Structure 1
Amino acid sequence: MSPILNVVVVSFHHKRGCEVEYSNPKLDGKGEGGLPEEWAHLPSLALPDGVHNLKQDVIFFSLPSRTEPGKCVFGISCYRQIDSTELISRPEDVTRCSVQKSVCVISKIPLFGGLKAKLEVITQAYFEQRDFGQIDVLNQMYDNLHDMFNEQMSSEQNVGLAYHEISVQDLFIRFRHRALMLFKLVLLERKVLFFGSNGQTIGETMLALVSMFPNLLEEGLFYSSCTLQDVKDTEKTSKPSTSTADTEKFEVDYSENKESKEPAVEEIFVQEDIGSGWLKKDPIKKRDSFGFPLSIFTQNAYFDPYLSISFLDVLTTVRSCVVGATNALFAMKKGIFDVVVKFEDDGTTIHQHVEVLTPDLDRLLALTTQDLRFADFILRHVEEQRRSSTAGYDGGDEWIRTQMRDYLLSLVATARADLQTSVPQFGLPFVTAWRHTRNYRIWLAETHKDLASVAPGHFFSEQLGVYDMYLRLDHAVHGVEGASKVLEAVNTTGKNIGNTIGETGSRVKNKLANWWRGRGTANQDGEDAAEAQMDKH
């Protein structure tokens, strides 16, 4: 049986608002256009907020499953706008200068990347007809997709389809070292908003981020949708998570023993019933021999690449979330979120900013020297492949995912072993906070037979060198206050080193300043040259 459920067209009517005007197979619900109750929010999710301001967009979203309560299904919507004067056949109710519609595909499994290119081609063909009464192209698309995607496909095929055209390279190019910071942020189960005017940029960034976690995109999102909650009855959901890590540490489920007392910090890791109790309730039952996917988006923790404004109040009641939105009201509600990732389009370039709103979270997310080396290692391979005329494996999307998988394996092995020499390599505040999350405790409650082959410790734990200054500055320059921090750091670094080693200090300062202007020397050759210069003195 095919995982493809429906091909749907959602349009914007100037009087009735967003509505379903076509579906194959035909919807059999009691709502307008046969819309079932479970999919009541489909129209608002399929059309982006502020549709009149957009010519086109692609939105990734999710909906509750109609056949498996508690699970979700996955949708991708291709939005287009056309001038009504261009229509060959113009319906009487089209009274405005433009027509806005989205063509959607809804699937049982996450085929976001695999469906995107095909859906864009069909949507373009549908609009080029200039007659929306001609639906043969839509019927043919459903038949083709139904034959093309088979529920009995191997897991390898499903993985390939889920990841197709989801570029992790772009994620690192956009965020540089902060891509690793976002990766660690997801592990902490906080409330994160990705906000901008373009739903496709937001969605692809979020999917790329999640795809770096082993098995998470293809197997770990079936219980992740905020749409599983009823926006009319938010009082029945769990209480919102607190803003600080200290109070979040001791969020323990005592439903099996009402008289239990809160464990002390030093006891929390040895009380297996804490993790095993959550493990019994956790809906993800299929994991690999390393315990992946992690249960990051389960039990009132949500991942939605796009939410409409009707879900804004629901987010105050969830335990954690990573969500995307294009409505400016989301960004204005900063009290809801711990971190806001903003995309700003100036017409030629999309700029991104990571704004940490919760006190002390900056400290938890601070990348260690070892982290910066690792992120730079990935960046240099990505940039080298982008410059190369032939695309090889090193620096490509699958290569990056393999590196991130190895990083996560080292992290979980280090956190479990709790070696004093290894934990600080990933950041002691971060590891301490992560150990108190639900996903870590669920993972710790099980035995993972292949983890014994993973040695604790960071792969990039070499001795501190001059090149680490370059990395620290490269990380700072792309921060919220990048330029001013770098200038201050360059001056301070030069003075401090100059006070210690004389003439060499000014030389290093000049090298750092020149690097900041062009970053031409920030490569392995630059590292070797800088270290050689220091060795001479």
Structure 2
Amino acid sequence: MMSDTDAGAEEATGTATAPITSAATVVNVLLVDFHHKFGPVVEYSINPIAGETARDGKVKLPDEWKHLPFLALPDGLHNHEEDVTYFTLPALCEASGDDGVKGDDTNADAPGELLQQQQRPRVYGVAVSRQIQTQDLQTSDAHVTRNTVLKAICVISTTPAFTTITNALRPCTSVLFDQRDFTNKAILHDLEASLNRSLASSTIADIVATQDFGLTEWLYRLRYVLMQVYKLMLLQKKILVCDTSGATPASSLSRLALALASLLPGALDGATTQTTTASRAAKAKNQGDNGSHAPPMQAPSSSSSSSSSSSTTRSQLSDEMTALLEASIAAFTHQQEQVWLETGEMQRTMQSPSSTPSSSTPSQQQHGRQGGQVVQAAEGSDDRSGDDEDDVLSSFSSRVRRMNVRLLCPYPGLLRLFPHACLQQADELRGSHFLACPTNMMMVRSDFLHPDVVLDLSKKPTLKFMEPGLKAKASLSTPDLRFIDQLVSSVRKREVGSSGDGESGYAGGDEHIRHSFHTYLLQAAICADTARAHATKANLDRLADFNWDWFAAWRSTVPYARWCHYSDAVLSVYHLRPCDLEASRLHVCAGALQVADVGRRFRQLTTTQLGAERTEAASQRFRATVDQSEKALSEAYEASKKGIASAVSSIRSWWGSVSNQQRPAPSATASSQQQSQTRAKQLSDDASEHGESHA
């Protein structure tokens, strides 16, 4: 971890992004055992824990880590050959390099307590557990009294490199169990050295970006339910994810929790900057109190009180955010000047009597700010897209940092997120909002933890709302349904190999899904900030695309208030809000109602509104009806096809016979006429001969 001296030097030099590129480190590697008297205990650790080492087959743990053995050995492990759990713990004072913050997270909703917990670093654990028959062991300890031995190898790291650690931990656990001798613990030391080398060769940003939690599979399975859970997470609700049938292992539940957390900017990537953020906040506070913080840029003020307020507010912004805002404002001002110059030149050209209107007049609209009012200005279609100012304004990373949407994350650094929750954490879970994934059947009961909503993964994933009125807040709008359908369609295209780029491609992958949800939250923040700045009917109507009931509940959350404080701070210093630098201020899937939206609403109703039993029964009846109707229609079609063909053939033959009877053949008519002429000629000749003879 970083000391205060290093953090101060880092801030003085302005390298605020150093934690993103620093290498991750392994704090400890533990061997957890299920003791027949004490239950799960830490049997061995390669490094002392708070100065304690193994005594009598177990290591004494500090209060901050008292739940670690129960998190490493999940309930129901005897039902699976192998299982994986992920969890977070507060960093010990020795590991964090400061005095730390004592206590648990029971009062996380209080702004002061939440700020202290965010400033305190956390560590991240990955445990792979297995079981082996006692008779298969070459050597066994005296406390082994059961038929099976349950053990787990646990790695504690300072960064959430869950996927990387799991890939290295699985084969190591297999080797440990295959040697059938747990007294040889040299493999644990080899694992620490190997992980440190592996993590040192990659940056933290790369490690976080390459996390694989099966997000595409969860999206394809949950669909609309995933979107509802995502919006409930933003409302800071108590969300319980479980499987009432007990068939889902802890590894799947943990991966789902981390997959949901990866959809929020600041959950996984925010964990890497906690130490530097804490030191920077403390240093800024001290400098603000001493009055020695130099303002980054001189802002106009009308009085000494407003100047003092601006200076105090400016000191709350980090150096990195200040530099980004100044660059964005400079680029935006340059862009406005270029647009105004082009507009004036176009007007002069059109007013000239010798000129003709050009077909290449600018058509795109750019939101500008002049005198505190939002105006519409034409934007030229020149080649300035590659300039630095355009990159600052339009690049996604700059937009996310400028809007500071990380403040909207309800689980900064995975705080209040429990990828695997044990029974011993019940008191901690009852205190505040959470997203927990327990495997203990007692915790699954709705009257034990009193959650606001329960996501049951047994059979068909279903949401059960416990809080009155929460169902309306979690209802999805039509643009939300389009958003999910587009993601599901991209995943389906990627699976069938028709992405269009000749390979698996970016679209439909985990990174694409995470980017889409980050964009969703970014656009929601832009629409909210725009409505706060200019409460017009058009701006308020844009919020309805996110479900007005959900937005009204979102405004009452602590992250939203923290983010509004940041927006107001930017306004007081730079006299504009972050949303004023944005061109797009709509829902990511905004648009007029279409015919396809009716089908989306019907699918969402049948999958999320009717409930599991009614939906399954209705689906079975519908499938049976469709099968019977299809069979009946097929038989009727084949029969009618044969009947129609036979009738057409009969009609054709009848009509041919009638036509032949009514119309004589051409050859017969000609011969009869010839015969008549021959007979007439013969009669004429006979009459002439008879007349001559009579004379």
* TM-score bucket of the superposed structures, by smaller chain: 0.7 to 0.9
Alignment counterpart, residue 22 of structure 1, candidates 37, 44, 47:
44
Q: 1-side partners of 2:522 and 2:69: how far apart? A: 41
Equivalent residue number for residue 592 of structure 2 = 463
How much has 1:431 moved relative to structure 2? 0.8
Alignment counterpart, residue 475 of structure 2, candidates 366, 379, 390:
366
Matched, 1:107 2:107: no
User: Per the alignment, do residues 484 and 295 of structure 1 end up closer, same or farther by CA in structure 2, a change over 3 Å counting?
Assistant: closer
Moved more, 371-380 or 59-68: 59-68
| SS state at 1:306 partner | strand
Equivalent residue number for residue 237 of structure 2 = 190
Equivalent residue number for residue 13 of structure 1 = 35
**Cα-to-partner distance string for 1:279-320 (whole Å, 9 max, x where unaligned):** 98xxxx9982221323413699711111211111232222x1
Q: 2-side partners of 1:127 and 1:109: how far apart? A: 27
User: Per the alignment, do residues 295 and 392 of structure 1 end up closer, same or farther by CA in structure 2, a change over 3 Å counting?
Assistant: closer
Equivalent residue number for residue 453 of structure 2 = 339
Q: 1-side partners of 2:595 and 2:225: how far apart? A: 21
Question: Given that residues 84 and 128 in structure 2 are in contact (C-alpha distance below 8 angstroms), is that contact kept between their aligned partners in structure 1?
Answer: yes
Question: Given that residues 261 and 414 in structure 2 are in contact (C-alpha distance below 8 angstroms), is that contact kept between their aligned partners in structure 1?
Answer: no
**Cα-to-partner distance string for 1:328-366 (whole Å, 9 max, x where unaligned):** 12121446210111222xxxxx64222111111110010
User: Per the alignment, do residues 213 and 366 of structure 1 end up closer, same or farther by CA in structure 2, a change over 3 Å counting?
Assistant: same
Equivalent residue number for residue 376 of structure 1 = 485
Q: 1-side partners of 2:77 and 2:506: how far apart? A: 39
**Cα-to-partner distance string for 1:364-422 (whole Å, 9 max, x where unaligned):** 01000111011100001111212228411111111111211211111111122221220
**Cα-to-partner distance string for 1:1-39 (whole Å, 9 max, x where unaligned):** 752101111010112211111211243545842433432
Moved more, 421-430 or 84-93: 84-93
Alignment counterpart, residue 316 of structure 1, candidates 420, 423, 430:
430
TM-score, with structure 1 as normaliser:
0.73
AA paired with 1:211?
A: S
**Cα-to-partner distance string for 1:85-136 (whole Å, 9 max, x where unaligned):** 1112233322211000111100111111221111112111111111111222
How much has 1:482 moved relative to structure 2? 5.6
Equivalent residue number for residue 680 of structure 2 = none
AA paired with 2:255?
A: E
Q: 1-side partners of 2:228 and 2:592: how far apart? A: 22
Question: Given that residues 519 and 588 in structure 2 are in contact (C-alpha distance below 8 angstroms), is that contact kept between their aligned partners in structure 1?
Answer: no
Question: Given that residues 295 and 442 in structure 1 are in contact (C-alpha distance below 8 angstroms), is that contact kept between their aligned partners in structure 2?
Answer: no
Alignment counterpart, residue 517 of structure 2, candidates 404, 412, 419:
404
Alignment counterpart, residue 140 of structure 1, candidates 183, 186, 190:
190
Question: Given that residues 6 and 106 in structure 1 are in contact (C-alpha distance below 8 angstroms), is that contact kept between their aligned partners in structure 2?
Answer: yes
Matched, 1:87 2:137: yes
User: Per the alignment, do residues 143 and 462 of structure 1 end up closer, same or farther by CA in structure 2, a change over 3 Å counting?
Assistant: same
Q: 1-side partners of 2:596 and 2:616: how far apart? A: 15
Equivalent residue number for residue 77 of structure 1 = 127
Alignment counterpart, residue 395 of structure 1, candidates 508, 520, 527:
508
Alignment counterpart, residue 207 of structure 1, candidates 227, 250, 258:
258
Equivalent residue number for residue 561 of structure 2 = 441
AA paired with 2:450?
A: I
AA paired with 1:412?
A: A
Question: Given that residues 339 and 357 in structure 1 are in contact (C-alpha distance below 8 angstroms), is that contact kept between their aligned partners in structure 2?
Answer: yes
Question: Greater relative contact order: 1 or 2 (C-alpha under 8 angstroms, separation 6 or more)?
Answer: 2
Matched, 1:325 2:438: yes
**Mapping of 1:240-319 within 5 angstroms?**
288-293=401-406, 294-297=408-411, 302-318=416-432
User: Per the alignment, do residues 336 and 220 of structure 1 end up closer, same or farther by CA in structure 2, a change over 3 Å counting?
Assistant: farther
User: Per the alignment, do residues 358 and 37 of structure 1 end up closer, same or farther by CA in structure 2, a change over 3 Å counting?
Assistant: closer
Q: 2-side partners of 1:58 and 1:351: how far apart? A: 23
Equivalent residue number for residue 675 of structure 2 = none
How much has 1:450 moved relative to structure 2? 5.9
Question: Given that residues 132 and 150 in structure 2 are in contact (C-alpha distance below 8 angstroms), is that contact kept between their aligned partners in structure 1?
Answer: yes
AA paired with 2:156?
A: I
Matched, 1:51 2:171: no
Q: Which residues of structure 2 form unaligned runs of 5+?
A: 1-22, 101-119, 275-308, 323-399, 532-538, 571-576, 631-695
Question: Given that residues 309 and 330 in structure 1 are in contact (C-alpha distance below 8 angstroms), is that contact kept between their aligned partners in structure 2?
Answer: yes
Question: Given that residues 74 and 108 in structure 1 are in contact (C-alpha distance below 8 angstroms), is that contact kept between their aligned partners in structure 2?
Answer: yes
Q: 1-side partners of 2:563 and 2:254: how far apart? A: 27
Moved more, 411-420 or 76-85: 411-420
Tell which structure's C-alpha radius of gyration is larger.
Answer: 2
Q: 1-side partners of 2:253 and 2:140: how far apart? A: 34
Q: Which residues of structure 1 form unaligned runs of 5+?
A: 224-272, 345-349, 492-509, 519-537
Equivalent residue number for residue 652 of structure 2 = none
Question: Given that residues 189 and 296 in structure 1 are in contact (C-alpha distance below 8 angstroms), is that contact kept between their aligned partners in structure 2?
Answer: yes
Percent same amino acid among aligned pairs? Answer: 27
Q: 2-side partners of 1:386 and 1:360: how far apart? A: 38
Matched, 1:97 2:226: no
Question: Given that residues 271 and 414 in structure 2 are in contact (C-alpha distance below 8 angstroms), is that contact kept between their aligned partners in structure 1?
Answer: no
**Mapping of 1:370-519 within 5 angstroms?**
370-388=479-497, 390-418=503-531, 419-447=539-567, 451=579, 452-479=581-608, 481=611, 484=614
| SS state at 2:527 partner | helix
Equivalent residue number for residue 42 of structure 1 = 68
User: C-alpha root-mean-square deviation of aligned residues, in Å?
Assistant: 3.4
AA paired with 1:388?
A: G
Question: Given that residues 26 and 34 in structure 1 are in contact (C-alpha distance below 8 angstroms), is that contact kept between their aligned partners in structure 2?
Answer: no
Matched, 1:217 2:337: no
| SS state at 1:455 partner | coil
**Cα-to-partner distance string for 1:467-521 (whole Å, 9 max, x where unaligned):** 11221122223225267469989x9xxxxxxxxxxxxxxxxxx99x969x99xxx
Q: 1-side partners of 2:564 and 2:176: how far apart? A: 51
Equivalent residue number for residue 396 of structure 2 = none
Question: Given that residues 29 and 36 in structure 1 are in contact (C-alpha distance below 8 angstroms), is that contact kept between their aligned partners in structure 2?
Answer: no
Q: 2-side partners of 1:487 and 1:26: how far apart? A: 57
User: Per the alignment, do residues 363 and 39 of structure 1 end up closer, same or farther by CA in structure 2, a change over 3 Å counting?
Assistant: same
How much has 1:153 moved relative to structure 2? 5.4
